[in-house]
Amino acid sequence: MTASVSTAQDPAQDATVTEDAAPAQSFDFAAYLEAARRRVEAALDGSLGPERPESLREAMRYSLLAGGKRLRPILCLAACELAGGDGELAMPTAVALEMIHTMSLIHDDLPAMDNDDLRRGRPTNHKVYGEANAILAGDALLTRAFEMVALRSPGLPAERLLAVVGELSLASGAPGLVGGQVVDLECEGKAVDLDTLEYIHLHKTGALLRACVISGAQIAGASEALLAALGTYARGIGLAFQIIDDILDVTASSEVLGKTAGKDLAADKTTYPKLLGLEESRCRAEALVAEAKAALAPWCAGEGEAKAAPLLALADYITSRDR
């Protein structure tokens, strides 16, 4: 990475900026990821209070603390730090994002949707607690997510909290996950073109990843220019993430994935590998990650180098991951 100096909130206006956006040479991504995961796990563990009845609390904790890559909360913390904020201020929102993600997995696994038995290396929530309780545990996690932001985010100005609540609402509802899931279910067993597939991926998967980086940056009071760049970054990593998910569904084992492999084929779903083949799908994911990283180039110079390194490395991780 070329070192030129810029500390401006909007370095796109700064003539010293370079186009280069590779993670800093000295950045130890494995150590960063491990430390971030530990922080997130601790926050998740402490996030569920005295929910009653106990059976509901148990079902919520079962899925929330079942592991997972924790990519969404880590993206939120990293975006907050890139925007100059203290990651700890974003932790309640990071937890909220993982709660929304976890509830979407619980509901996605239900018999009425993907009907799956295995998630995060364990029996799915409804297999353990029954369908009704799994639906309710998902509902409770979703509503708890908004409580985390609105009532459990000390030290944040009300207008930033409101902006975050707005982002999380858009990502969760019809304009995001729910809308994407509906189109995905409607398309099962049908011929689907690339545009429709992109729509599904951008809503079902991309919308929440976008909310992660946008909300993290909003908490830090990011400029409009940085928010726009993070929107471009999120689009690239969101699509790439789901393309790699489609590839792993074909190439990886259930044991490694912690969820049932080969589901897309069994459900007769259209995927990137089905439309483009494995090799071209991988090339497309890599190109999207390159676009995502390029969007952050103006924030990577000088002092920005260390702050941008986690988001750049997280983008690369999306295509290099094996689960």
Nearest approach, Cβ of residue 257 and ligand GRG (Å): 8
Would you say 68 or 298 has its CB closer to ligand GRG?
68
Nearest approach, Cβ of residue 36 and ligand GRG (Å): 14
Q: Would you say 308 and 299 are in contact if contact means Cβ atoms under 8 Å apart?
A: yes
Beta-bridge partners for 122: 119
Nearest approach, Cβ of residue 110 and ligand GRG (Å): 8
Quick check: helix, strand or coil at residue 86?
A: coil
Query: 280: number of CA atoms within 13 Å, CB side?
Result: 7
Q: How far is CA 287 from CA 59, 98, 107, 290, 292, in A?
A: 40, 27, 32, 5, 9
Name the DSSP class of 206: I
Quick check: helix, strand or coil at residue 121?
A: coil
Would you say 49 or 175 has its CB closer to ligand GRG?
175
Quick one: which of 211, 208, 239, 245 has its CA closest to 79? 211
Would you say 177 or 300 has its CB closer to ligand GRG?
177
Strands (E), 99-161: 118-119, 122-123
Nearest approach, Cβ of residue 31 and ligand GRG (Å): 20
* Counts for the chain of helices (H) and strands (E), in that order: 16, 2
What gap in Å lies between CA 37 and CA 19, rounded to an integer? 30
Nearest approach, Cβ of residue 207 and ligand GRG (Å): 9
Would you say 93 or 172 has its CB closer to ligand GRG?
172
For ligand GRG, the binding residues (CB under 6 A) are: 68-69, 71, 100-101, 104-105, 107-108, 113, 120, 142, 172, 177-178, 181, 204-205, 242, 245
Would you say 172 or 218 has its CB closer to ligand GRG?
172
Would you say 263 or 307 has its CB closer to ligand GRG?
263
Would you say 12 or 250 has its CB closer to ligand GRG?
250
Quick check: helix, strand or coil at residue 192?
A: coil
Nearest approach, Cβ of residue 272 and ligand GRG (Å): 13
Quick one: which of 120, 163, 107 has its CA closest to 259? 120
* Chain residue whose CB lies nearest ligand GRG: 68
Would you say 10 or 139 has its CB closer to ligand GRG?
139
Nearest approach, Cβ of residue 302 and ligand GRG (Å): 32
Residues 6+ apart with CB under 8 A from 293: 21, 22, 233, 236, 312, 315, 316
Nearest approach, Cβ of residue 23 and ligand GRG (Å): 20
